Amino acid sequence: MIGAVLLAIIFGAGLYFKRTIGLRNALSLGYWTSRAKGHEFYNSDKLYFNRGNRDAKDLLLTIDDSPHRESMDLILKTLKEEKVPATFFVIGKRVKESPDLTRRILAEGHEIGNHTQDHIRLDTLTEKQVRNEILNCQTNVERATGHSMKFLRPPGMRFNPTVLKVVKEFGYITVGWNVGAKDFIPSLKDGHYDIAQIRAMKVSPEVITERVLKQVQSGSIVLLHDNPVTAQALKPMIEKLKAEGYTFRSTVEMLSKLPEPVNVVSNPPVRK
Ligand SMILES: [Zn+2]
């Protein structure tokens, strides 16, 4: 009898955590430690934004590795039609190639974040190289748009204490993610995509949409990539998420709605 009650409690708790914070978090000591310190959403020591408020059915769409000529137009068109804001983490060398697209992101009301100059994993670099990777991307964005950036996402989400220290010195807030679509498709040297490779990876708009829908919770930060397949997935994905009652918010809005609000400006004009 006691065994059955215990089993029911464990099963019930399992179901509850699966729905609310996820089983992996529930079993992780690190998760409960950071939650106890009030760092579950935003770590003010590390300037690290981990997830949005659980009390609002809000989502943040982040799109990495922008701007890409073969997909950007469809992505921006879809976001405009759906009236959905997004945060684009741009690569400096792509910004230099397509300053017009970079300006368009801001002009259409979205946010731009720093995703480094060359998209090299920062935890493999020296402190000086890390500094240059961040600074060169920043310089290219400022030249293209006249605006600076407040948010940063390290390539592959790879960082170490040195990287976090440098990011903090620059004053950036690092933006993490909780929902991944596994939609990263490597582009060729000339910037084009190889259709055969995309087919071999078996990523389709349907698969990407399904992966996102399966994982989202209130306050999730969704990671997508700027490529032609994801561009096609965007419209059905947004429509299905809206039908489930989700509202899309910018990074600034998500931060301002935290239990302990953080108020920042995403892309202030460069001071002359
Ligand atoms: Zn990336």
- Measured CA distances, 272 to 43, 104, 139, 148 (Å): 31, 22, 14, 12
Residue type, 208: I
pLDDT above 70: residue 90: yes
Residues near 141 by Cβ (< 8 Å), separated by ≥ 6?
A: 90, 92, 95, 102, 112, 114, 147, 148, 149
pLDDT above 80: residue 195: no
For a pLDDT cut of 90, what percent of the chain falls above it? 75
**Catalytic annotation, residues:** 64, 225
Span from the CA of 138 to the centroid of ligand 1 (angstroms): 16
User: What's the confidence (pLDDT) of residue 171?
Assistant: 96
Domain ranges of the chain: 1-37, 40-256
Give the SS3 label for residue 218.
coil
User: Residue 64: pLDDT band by 50, 70, 90 thresholds?
Assistant: very high
| Annotation: CATH topology of 40-256 | TIM Barrel (3.20.20)
Reply yes or no: is the peptide bond before residue 67 cis, omega within 30 of 0: yes
Span from the CA of 86 to the centroid of ligand 1 (angstroms): 15
Span from the CA of 1 to the centroid of ligand 1 (angstroms): 53
User: What's the confidence (pLDDT) of residue 36?
Assistant: 61
Q: Which of 12-26, 32-46, 163-177 has the highest mean pLDDT?
A: 163-177
CB burial class (10 A; 0-12, 13-18, 19+) of residue 100? exposed
pLDDT above 90: residue 203: no
pLDDT in tens, 217-227: 999 999 999 99
- For residues 131 and 20, the model is more confident at 131
Report how far residue 5's alpha carbon sits from residue 259's, in angstroms, rounded to the nearest whole number.
35
